[in-house]
Structure 1
Amino acid sequence: MRKLSKKGKVYAAAATIALVAASGGAAYAYWTTTGTGSGSAANSAGGGTVTLRANFDAGSLTPGGSVVVTYVADNGSLTTDTKVGALTVQSITTDSSGCLPGWFTADANTGNATVLHNSTNTTVGTGTLAFVNSTANQDACKGATVTINVTSN
């Protein structure tokens, strides 16, 4: 192997520095870039609605008495769980014209209950249905069906 002269060593060093600088510059240009863009996707329209029901034993309800109500929900969505917020009793109806809805009161105690997708009879709250004792004849309520209409938010 031949020895390099002092001038050859300087040229070799300069060539090495130039090669390293050129390689570093190329790497810098490769890694440095700018750009813009965006992406989008539409979310589901929501989990749909749940069906709410009030379950209670009306057969034991008499004037002046009350029964415990269990509020349940069905979620027919095959993929989305949902939460049922506060329940509000909207109205009480009866199937007998002489059995006045005003003779009944109901409340609903609930929180944010999760109703799993494709589920039925998930308890979402409790409450009380009371049959107010009136001075009027309430015989029309014997055997009548009482319905509690409830909503959630």
Structure 2
Amino acid sequence: MRKLSKKSRITAAVAGVALVAVGGGAAYAYWTTTGSGNGTATNSNGGGTVTLHASYADGLAPGNQVNVAYSADNSTSSSTVVGALTATVTTDVTGCLPAWFEVTANTTNAVVAANSTNTAVGTGILKFNDSATENQDLCKGAKVTVNVTSK
């Protein structure tokens, strides 16, 4: 192999330095590049209405109470939270007064998964208060309904 002259070696060294400088400049430009952008999407209208249920044992009599279990069905495509429950009592017999009953509803922001049924969301107690002054015979066999709503 032939030896390079001093002039050729200097030219090769300068060319090498120039290539490194150009390559470094390209790398420097890459790392300091700036830009901007964005993206948008519309969220679903999920988290809508759930169907609430109250279940408890039959056979309530004056002076007694039963436990109430509250549950929810969620037919939407996203999970939702059931907040504070409010419960009231109605009866199907005139003269069997809802005022003779007390119902509680306790929950702590229960999560109800999307497309789920019978998810426990709270508990409570249904009491049939004994009236010392009024005849409660009209409540015998009456249908007592616990109506429950959520905020």
TM-score tier after normalising by the smaller chain length? 0.7 to 0.9
Pairwise CA distance, 1:30: 4.1
In the alignment, structure 1 segments of 5+ residues that lack a partner are: none
How far apart in 2 are the matches of 1:29 and 1:115? 52
CA shift for structure 1 position 11: 2.1
User: After superposition, where does 1:1-153 map in structure 2 within 5 Å?
Assistant: 1-57=1-57, 59-77=58-76, 79-89=77-87, 91-134=88-131, 135-153=133-151
CA distance in 1, matches of 2:3, 2:73: 90
Do the aligned residues in 2 keep the contact of 1:72 with 1:122 (CA within 8 Å)? yes
For the Cα contact (< 8 Å) 1:60–1:67, is it kept in 2?
no
Residues of 2 paired with 1:43 and 1:98: CA distance?
A: 50
Deviation at 1:147, TM superposition (A): 1.6
Q: Distance in 2 between the 1:60 and 1:27 partners?
A: 83
- SS of the residue corresponding to residue 49 of structure 1 reads coil
Runs of 4+ more than 6 Å apart: none
CA separation of 1:19 and 1:130: change in aligned 2, threshold 3 A: same
Q: CA shift at 1:152, angstroms? A: 2.1
1:46 and 1:117 map into 2 onto residues whose CA distance is: 9
How high is the TM-score relative to the length of structure 1?
Answer: 0.84
- Per-residue CA distance 1:63-122 (angstroms, 9 max, x = gap): 111111111211122x32333233222x22112221111111001222233333333222
Determine the C-alpha separation between the residues in 2 that align with 1:120 and 1:17: 73
What whole-Å deviation, never above 9, does each CA across 1:16-59 have from its counterpart, x for those lacking one? 211221232233334442211111112222232211111112x4
8 Å contact from structure 1 (residues 69, 127) kept in 2: yes
Gaps (5+ residues) in structure 2? none
The alignment yields a C-alpha RMSD, in angstroms, of 1.9
Q: Alignment identity in percent?
A: 63
Aligned length: 150
